[in-house]
Amino acid sequence: MSETLTPLVDRFGRAVTYLRVSVTDRCDFRCTYCMSEAMTFLPRKDLLTLEEIDRLASAFVARGVRKLRLTGGEPLVRRNIMWLIEALSRHLGNGLDELTLTTNGSQLEHHAEALAACGVKRINVSLDTLDAAKFRVLTRWGDFDKVLRGIDAADRAGLKIKINAVALRGCNEDEIAELLRWSHGRGFDLTLIETMPMGEIDADRTDQYLPLSLVRARLEQHFTLADIPFQSGGPARYTQVAETGGRLGFITPMTHNFCESCNRVRVTCTGTLFMCLGQEDAADLKQPMRASKSDAVLHAAIDEAIGRKPKGHDFIIDRTAAPSLSRHMSTTGG
């Protein structure tokens, strides 16, 4: 790192070491808690090119980002995505500790070996149910067997897998113990996530919202959960499950936010930097990146934005209120 490129530290003294980059807002699923079935996606001309995503992510690595996660939508539906992953892999061991992605698993069967060859060591797979019929209802378009084949392919390729499941009242709350046993039985960590009020969907989130404090209390009727200091670099707080030997994470933006230790920022597929998932304040990085072949203007824009990173978010789920944020998670990057 050159002397002029200092590490990114916000006004609260938090070092920004984790960047999540959405490579597309498109997805081949329409999960009921994430988006409406009749989604209008961004015009392709508005998206950053893969070369621009590489340049932008590389600028953050030069400023001390050690973990880079590609998201979407579904990142593996982006055309030529493996070119980008291979390009970014050049930073591994040269500033970057980890290159990873979050996926719905639908394309893993085709890409798992190539991901491993690029130095990807672990991935997060979103899977909210083990019931094929319920999976189809939840995702609207998803093929459960295809996702399982993708998970198997990733496992064979040597990728470490963490299962992410959104806890949904009246939907999968009676399956969480089974999902825990299945995940740990396969050697996968499991992380549970509270649904977040982002974007209009075809449902009422007050009907979906299930506090993880309640989920944990229910699980503790059958399992012994011990808090552990393990960190994966993200917001999850982890427990060790004595009966299975596996780790169980909780991401609780609603009941117990994790803002005091936030080390993350997000860049959308249009080059918009969100300093906080739960706030609307953002910075355009596309314009300064396109304004000059030099990265000096880009770095100045990043510095200005990090200086505005807020102390935390203010998510609220209320039947009488609009979503806390108008944008969908797929727009920001999951």
Indicate the annotated binding residues for [4Fe-4S] cluster: 27, 31, 34, 259, 262, 276
Going from the C-alpha of 286 to that of each of 46, 62, 211, 308, the distances in angstroms are: 10, 18, 37, 18
Cross-strand bridge partners of residue 122: 160
**DSSP secondary structure of 284-316:** E-HHHHHH-SSSHHHHHHHHHHHTT--S-----
Sign, CA dihedral 190-194-198-202, equals positive
**CB-count burial class (<10 Å; 0-12, 13-18, 19+) for 140:** middle
**CB-count burial class (<10 Å; 0-12, 13-18, 19+) for 40:** exposed
**CB-count burial class (<10 Å; 0-12, 13-18, 19+) for 33:** buried
* Residues contributing to the annotated binding site for S-adenosyl-L-methionine: 33, 73, 126, 196
* Residues contributing to the annotated binding site: 20, 27, 31, 33-34, 69, 73, 102, 126, 162, 196, 259, 262, 264-266, 276
The secondary structure element, H or E, covering residue 122 is: strand 122-126
* Residues contributing to the annotated binding site for GTP: 20, 69, 102, 162, 264-266
CA distance 95 to 121: 16
Residue that has been written with the tokens 């390009």 in this structure: 87
Strand order in the sheet with 247-251: 225-228, 237-241, 247-251, 189-194, 160-167, 122-126, 98-103, 67-71, 18-22, 264-267, 272-274, 282-284
- Give Rg (Cα) of the chain: 19
Angle at 239 between CA 235 and CA 245, to 5 degrees: 130
Residue that has been written with the tokens 């090119």 in this structure: 49
**CB-count burial class (<10 Å; 0-12, 13-18, 19+) for 192:** buried
Residue 109: φ, ψ to 5°: -55, -30
